[in-house]
Amino acid sequence: MVSIAVVPVAGHGTRLMPLTRAVPKELLPLGRKPVLQSVVEELQQCGIDDIVMVTSDRKQCVLREHFQTGAPSSIQFANQCEQLGLGHAVLCSEEFVGQNAFLIALGDAMIGLSDHASLCRRMIRIFHETDADSVIAFQSVPIERVSRYGIASVASAYKAGDEFFELSGLVEKPSTDKAPSRFAIAARYICKPDIFSLLRETKAGAGNEIQLTDALRLLIDRGGKVLGVPITDTEQRYDVGSFDSYFTAFIEAALADPECGDRVAAKLREILAKQ
Ligand code: UTP
């Protein structure tokens, strides 16, 4: 059973300065809700009721305030005292996770515009059916964007349309000519608790941060069975990590709004026609 999720939300959000001086980027709206609320709802829809948010002293107060009313799940807060990277943030959740397999959902990325949970439901099912050590979501990105992501080396004879593939490696932010595929890690992972000892072994990598990707590569190198699950067209990842992705994600979420979407679309057409 995967019944616990770790949601890292402690990052500085430096790419969104000055917006993130006081406002956590995870509370930025995509449509009518903060992106983090959609993440919590996604987890609930997957049957996950225990959520560990890894946060910082600075952000904890406002996050608690947002979720204290009306969140049916149990949300606990783990503190990341120093922002040493995503891998380090996950390590900060260890005592809350204990011996359980767990899902990691990045708090600044929403999956899909309406059914947020289909991807994680599928990942959980594949994790159980295959007895994998880890299952990671992947999105196909244009070749010119591979250098922004963790990219998969695909081991098995994967054919388009297959539900998953096995990974033979992972490369963090490769150059275009070195990218082993166009499959980029997409904000959702399932791990077993052995990932914590691998994270402890992982030295600071890209950006001088402890990278979750590096610990997962170590898992693959040591013979772990790590599977990649491609996302479908309706499971696109919408993240607020950069102004580019935040602005476009907000527009798409606004266009999908059942009440105002049509009017926003008409206005947008008018604006674009003048350009
Ligand atoms: P990012 O690397 O996109 O977030 O991490 P960041 O570090 O805030 O970004 P920049 O580069 O400074 O703009 C993805 C998720 O992991 C969390 C972030 O809060 C975000 O939700 N994270 C990142 C942590 O919890 N701790 C960290 O040390 C780094």
Instruction: Give the tens place of pLDDT for each residue, 206-240.
Output: 788 999 999 999 999 999 999 999 999 999 999 99
Examine residue 270 and state whether it is found in any structural domain, yes or no.
Answer: no
Residue 59 placed within a domain: yes
Ligand 1: residue whose CA is nearest its atom 18: 11
Establish whether residue 210 lines the binding site of ligand 1, counting it when its CB lies within 6 angstroms of any ligand atom. Answer: no
- In a domain, residue 203? The reply is yes
Supply the mean pLDDT for the chain.
Answer: 95
| In contact, 249 and 109? CB cutoff 8 Å | no
| pLDDT value at residue 193 | 98
Q: What is the mean pLDDT of residues 17-26?
A: 96
Digit-coded pLDDT (tens) for 143-190: 999 999 999 999 877 888 899 999 999 998 899 999 999 999 999 999
Sign of CA dihedral 176, 217, 235, 110: negative
Rounded Cα–Cα distance for residues 264 and 113 (Å): 16
CATH code of residue 50: 3.90.550.10
Q: Is the distance from the beta carbon of residue 173 to the nearest atom of ligand 1 less than 6 Å?
A: no
Q: What pLDDT is stored for residue 206 in this prediction? A: 76
What is the per-residue pLDDT for 71?
66
User: Distance, CA 69 to ligand 1 centroid (Å)?
Assistant: 25
Mutating to test ligand 1, I would choose from 39, 62, 86, 237 the residue with most ligand atoms within 8 A of its C-beta, which is 86
Q: E strands within 36-164?
A: 50-55, 74-79, 102-105, 109-111, 134-140, 150-154
User: Residue 58: its pLDDT value, please?
Assistant: 92
Q: pLDDT-based confidence at 73, cuts 50/70/90?
A: confident
CA of residue 11 to ligand 1 center, whole Å: 4
> What value does the mean pLDDT take over residues 43-50?
94
DSSP state of 192: -
Nearest Cα neighbor of 245 from 122, 151, 106 is 106
Residue 262 domain flag: no
In a domain, 271, yes or no: no
Pairing, β 109-111 against β 150-154: unpaired
Q: Is the CB of 240 under 6 A from ligand 1?
A: no
pTM here is 0.96
pLDDT at residue number 199: 98
* Ligand 1 contact via 150 beta carbon (within 6 Å): no
The number of the ligand 1 atom at minimal distance from the alpha carbon of 242 is 13
| pLDDT bucket at 72, cuts 50 / 70 / 90 | low
Structure tokens at 177: 């000519």
* Pocket of ligand 1 contains residue 26 by CB under 6 Å: yes
Domain annotation covers residue 146: yes
Range of the domain at 223: 4-257
Domain count, the chain: 1
Read off the pLDDT of residues 74-112 as tens digits, 9 standing for 90 and up: 999 999 999 999 999 999 999 999 999 999 999 999 999
Q: What are the φ and ψ backbone dihedral angles of 90, each rounded to 5 degrees?
A: -65, -40
C-alpha distance from residue 91 to each of 75, 126, 157, 194, 197 (Å): 17, 24, 33, 11, 9
Question: Is residue 107 in contact with ligand 1, taking CB distance under 6 Å?
Answer: yes
- Cα separation, 33 vs 55, in Å, equals 19
- For residue 180, give the nearest of 211, 214, 146 by alpha carbon: 146
Distance CA 47, CA 170 (A): 29
Among 108, 210, 237, 245, residue to substitute to test ligand 1 (most atoms within 8 Å of Cβ) = 108
The amino acid at 145: R
Residue 169 to residue 42: CA distance in whole angstroms: 29
Does some domain include residue 36? yes
Are 52 and 93 in contact, with CB atoms under 8 Å apart?
A: yes
212 CA → ligand 1 middle, Å: 12
- Percent of the chain whose predicted confidence (pLDDT) is above 70: 99
Ligand 1 pocket, 85 CB below 6 A? yes
In a domain? residue 263: no
54 lines ligand 1 (CB under 6 A): yes
